[in-house]
Structure 1
């Protein structure tokens, strides 16, 4: 989140273990969907978050882009960006030169060569970089000139059209837009943005406080104010409507941290209180009407969760992650159960059913069997 809120997101490091019989059934169901030509199938054995060796134990990765089972990008502290093209067997450090002092919190990748990363912070600390050659070279395409702005998340509709969101400026969230794949950016007018609540902002915890579905719909998650809200735009960020979420807020450390939409109607929200040891009741919610209304999960995750993703080719199955574990839903967010105690901040799945998670101490894992 903007200002001091993003400094408190710490968690206990725990070694990932086998996800277990519940996730085994899920992965079996996923692999029952025929793979497209050229896609590598899963082998035998129990599925698990399999740790990969990034060689960066000092880095916390909150930005993650799953391109496929083989290719993924991660972005984190110390201006670090890594890329793998062999399923995590090897990671290449492709960090932009001179970015050591930046905090990367989001990365959006279109393939193994093209990616856009966001650095967060007040004023000029908020920046956007773009690469077209797998990170061999980078171009800084945006540097925030306004000391009042603090950018939290990126999201793209396609390889050309995307948005970035900032905490409120002059009482409204600020939206940055690109129409050329991140080469250039402009601030959108705020006439269609509803007023922010006092203290309201976004959480830069997992790169999932701004998400898209389809070619025009985008949603924004907030917290820190009296009510945690989800804002929706059906016209690529020009006009917005706001809906209350049942996820508790009322404190700078509480609210909705991450969103996931499998289509323009069905979405999930997760969050809570990011402070270690603090209770996070009703830490998940779901919508079936595009975010106009939200219902709390009957059985939510037991603690704060910062990342969430739908499993590919499934209408009911999703994963949520946080510092104290991974949770699974098989009923579209009505109930959740913890299936892994490992610490992760963000999670993402590719269309070919390649799922990845990333977090503190250089941890990046791939769901495999």
Structure 2
């Protein structure tokens, strides 16, 4: 990581050049090489932009809001991840604000990276590649980007001059318009672009909501007119769209950026989202009331004839009070400037895609007659079409089009069938893209390899790690699944908690290893959102649920599959409970910052307390002590939690954020050497000839960050990942109790991976 401090002078308009640097030091290999593959879910996150490379048929790039970027080398091949090498220190770069290609250099790729504009996160950076994303150089920016903030589906904010590949423009959220004249090695602020065009004013509408930038006047897109220049000389005409209302939002330069003027006559009641310049010179712009991706109130689509300055309202369908929505994008067929696609966004009934063959004079709805095949990701059949923020028509094939969604996207290869009055056929386009957030992993001692708890898209029972599950487990049908676990000695019992949709209860259980699922008759008081933690006794008969809901977080226990629940005695509210993995009557719990350890020997009905008694003293809360940090990692991660060892009654492991501790039955905790920071921890099957389970952790061992395995009770560790496989932030890790060496890794935005020792 090579962060630079925010530069106030640059933000105020000083002409400061930022030089580029190579990314990273020499790659560190693994101590024990592993082969890594994704656990097939397919999609699962917001793909918010797709750009074709016009010079190479079939070559396209996709960006995501928090899961990096991808390349697809043919129209039928899987997407390949491009940023898996980013370490935890650079996790902020996993959110890709914008991407751009050079129409005259088939190997050039530029990524504007930065997930949040929060003051606590580092500034953004532009990653530039000249081998299609295989290697990069990095240019740090003096401002922040918001790849996972409001308006993240707008764009593209980064653009390469099609006449002069040395020239790039980058529209920022908070710092105006920036230009590079050396192929992104450095950027300078474009002071000629007036501050009044993009700085927020009181008339700009609602204050910011979730996502940070919803109420701010960000620069949403930059477009060059390729006919305004000659090869080797910068294009003279450049458009910039600014997310404002009540004042001009489209700006143009006709002298290669030396001066800028507002384009008169355009709509001011909505914000411009995306734009497309057709081959006949017509400019098409989609507008919406809000940057998104939340629900919209209104929107429209307009066409501008730049030669005459004439604006024409070509909105396919007018939103109304009973059916509010906006428009996200409009796409143009490169082979026929009259053929268009436009998408709605934020429509409560599900979004719609419109087709025009006469430049927007008339439109046809595509989806009522369209046929959708979800075989590549069966879970999406339960999810309405939403967040269609980008629609792209393949410049090499007018029958091939893609649109993005909050769970990946769809594509067709018979788009022009609609022009003949025939249905179009759509397939899931996200093969190779894995963008889920794993909140918990459970690998049973017998049966299926893995059960996952996934943010936003429930979770899955993975009977085959290389093939998508046939759908989400249900009933009940969850949105978020917050936790999942099972019984050590009765692996057919699996219990999950989450936020139920359609009025279901917030707990589901299986008594046949995940084949079928059931709802309980009741849930505990306070479990209104389905969050918190669930523990299942070794024999599967007792379940202890600790909700984290604001309206109550008292742990409850059930001994009858959720028919009834009893408040747990002797535990503070919100205390996470785990089951002993040998003794069915025993449960354990911990209050780390209160220096307390709890145990139950009556099936979780009551707990007794005693001091935690770590050998180096109590762990104090944030900013309160020398063995603590201002932050202790992501609170959804596996650190600062108590774990019970498989096969050893009463043996407890505490992977604290600052180090690793173990307590054998009847003994005190001891701190183990070498480990100085932990983000995730888990057990796996013992190595051949060993009695103790394998240990896996994500963190820092002997001064090195990575994924580590120990087969000798933490006496020694081997790093099992290399620098090409880091995936930003890892929240969860678990070995497989059935297969030695197999390990599952749950990331924040790059899905779930599994690794096996590499074969010689």
- What TM-score do the two structures reach when normalised by structure 2? 0.34
- Which residue of structure 1 aligns with residue 559 of structure 2? 179
- Which residue of structure 2 aligns with residue 216 of structure 1? 585
Gaps of 5+ in 1: 1-16, 22-45, 204-208, 273-280
Deviations 1:98-134 (A, max 9, x none): 745434222337889753202279xx99931123567
SS in 2 for 1:305: strand
Moved more, 143-152 or 336-345: 143-152
C-alpha deviation, 1:66, in angstroms: 1.2
Distance 1:61 1:109, change over 3 A: farther
CA contact (8 A) 1:210 1:221 kept: no
Distance 1:307 1:222, change over 3 A: farther
CA contact (8 A) 1:259 1:268 kept: yes
Moved more, 70-79 or 137-146: 137-146
Q: 2:540 aligns with which of 159, 172, 179?
A: 159
Distance 1:335 1:113, change over 3 A: closer
Q: 1:51 aligns with which of 38, 59, 62?
A: 38
- Which residue of structure 2 aligns with residue 358 of structure 1? 745
- 1:266 lines up with 2:651 in the alignment: yes
- Tell me, in whole angstroms, the C-alpha distance in 1 between the residues paired with 2:641 and 2:673: 19
C-alpha deviation, 1:74, in angstroms: 0.8
Equivalent residues in 2 for 1:313-352 (5 A)?
Answer: 314-322=690-698, 325-334=706-715, 336=717, 338-340=719-721, 342=726, 343-351=730-738
Distance 1:114 1:266, change over 3 A: closer
C-alpha deviation, 1:136, in angstroms: 6.8
- Tell me, in whole angstroms, the C-alpha distance in 1 between the residues paired with 2:610 and 2:37: 39
Gaps of 5+ in 2: 1-27, 45-433, 623-629, 633-638, 700-704
CA contact (8 A) 1:156 1:162 kept: yes
- 1:256 lines up with 2:643 in the alignment: no
- Which residue of structure 2 aligns with residue 235 of structure 1? 602
- Which residue of structure 1 aligns with residue 672 of structure 2? 297
Equivalent residues in 2 for 1:46-125 (5 A)?
Answer: 47-55=34-42, 56=44, 57-67=434-444, 68=446, 71-96=449-474, 99-108=477-486, 115-119=494-498
Deviations 1:183-232 (A, max 9, x none): 43412441xx26x4xxx8557xxxxx623222222222433x354x4422
SS in 1 for 2:709: strand
CA contact (8 A) 1:308 1:347 kept: yes
- Which residue of structure 2 aligns with residue 28 of structure 1? none
C-alpha deviation, 1:245, in angstroms: 5.3
CA RMSD of aligned residues (A): 4.1
- Which residue of structure 2 aligns with residue 6 of structure 1? none
- Which residue of structure 2 aligns with residue 128 of structure 1? 507
CA contact (8 A) 2:481 2:496 kept: no
Moved more, 73-82 or 96-105: 96-105
Distance 1:310 1:268, change over 3 A: farther
C-alpha deviation, 1:338, in angstroms: 3.8
- Tell me, in whole angstroms, the C-alpha distance in 1 between the residues paired with 2:551 and 2:669: 28
C-alpha deviation, 1:316, in angstroms: 3.9
- Tell me, in whole angstroms, the C-alpha distance in 1 between the residues paired with 2:756 and 2:597: 29
CA contact (8 A) 1:70 1:87 kept: no
- Tell me, in whole angstroms, the C-alpha distance in 1 between the residues paired with 2:551 and 2:514: 36
CA contact (8 A) 2:487 2:536 kept: no
Distance 1:90 1:334, change over 3 A: same
C-alpha deviation, 1:358, in angstroms: 3.5
C-alpha deviation, 1:139, in angstroms: 3.0
Q: Select the structure of larger CA radius of gyration.
A: 2
CA contact (8 A) 1:66 1:356 kept: no
- Tell me, in whole angstroms, the C-alpha distance in 2 between the residues paired with 1:216 and 1:112: 17
- Tell me, in whole angstroms, the C-alpha distance in 1 between the residues paired with 2:458 and 2:528: 25
- Which residue of structure 1 aligns with residue 272 of structure 2? none
C-alpha deviation, 1:77, in angstroms: 0.8
Higher relative contact order, chain-length normalized (CA < 8 Å, sep 6+) = 1
Distance 1:18 1:92, change over 3 A: farther
Moved more, 75-84 or 326-335: 326-335
- Tell me, in whole angstroms, the C-alpha distance in 1 between the residues paired with 2:717 and 2:599: 25
- Tell me, in whole angstroms, the C-alpha distance in 2 between the residues paired with 1:201 and 1:253: 20
C-alpha deviation, 1:368, in angstroms: 5.0
Distance 1:365 1:230, change over 3 A: farther
Aligned residues: 301
Moved more, 56-65 or 318-327: 318-327
SS in 1 for 2:555: strand
